[in-house]
Amino acid sequence: MRLSFRVNGKEVTADVPPGRRLLDLLREDLGLTGTKEGCGEGECGACTVIVDGRPRLSCLTAAIQVAGKDVLTIEGLAASGKLHPLQEALLATAGVQCGFCTPGLIMAAYALLQENPHPTEGEVREYLAGNLCRCTGYAQVVEAVLRAAERMR
């Protein structure tokens, strides 16, 4: 079926077969490979993108579900060529190690800060509980989100 939506502010039209995942549409058809596939089963958060302002697991989202919607991926956060405060803060705290979880984590953190610009450490941990990271132990990630929140206020 023919599908139209916006991704990172641009109108996109694509032909998608039934059952095509949003993750595959983004990565394979649109070349937006910043969004990662970890588990492919809704368990790790690596594939998180924002759909109409809310975080969504793109591995569990059918492409046709985003018809007419606004999708934001990690590429859209630094579209101007300047890193987003979340990206800068993660670099500063060494919250990026292998980096595989990072795009999904950033998108989830972005959604959190849209909803709640003043999160506590506990709220950050709770919100990001579905985004698994094998490398950092989470302390640097949480620190980065709190620093970015401060900068963005």
Q: Which residues of this protein are in contact with ligand FES, per CB under 6 A?
A: 37-40, 42-47, 57, 59, 96-102, 133-136
CB closer to ligand FES out of 30 and 144: 144
Q: How far is the CB of 131 from ligand FES (least distance, A)?
A: 9
Which residue, chain included where needed, has tokens 């492409």? 63
Which lies closer to ligand FES via its Cβ, residue 64 or residue 130? 130
**Angle at CA of residue 123, ends 79 and 71, nearest 5°:** 30
Cβ 118 to ligand FES shortest distance, Å: 25
Nearest to 102 by CA among 70, 69, 77: 77
**CB-nearer residue toward ligand FES: 118 or 134:** 134
CB of 57 to ligand FES, least distance (A): 5
Sign, CA torsion 115/118/122/124: positive
- What's at 135, amino acid-wise? C
Q: Compute the least distance from the CB of residue 76 to ligand FES, in Å.
A: 18
Rounded to 5 degrees, φ, ψ at 143 are -55, -45
How many angstroms separate the Cα of 56 from the Cα of each of 51, 135, 140, 143?
6, 23, 24, 23
Shorter beta-carbon distance to ligand FES: residue 45 or 85:
45
Distance CA 116, CA 113 (A): 5
Nearer to ligand FES, 56 or 117 (CB): 56
Least distance (Å) between residue 81 CB and ligand FES: 24
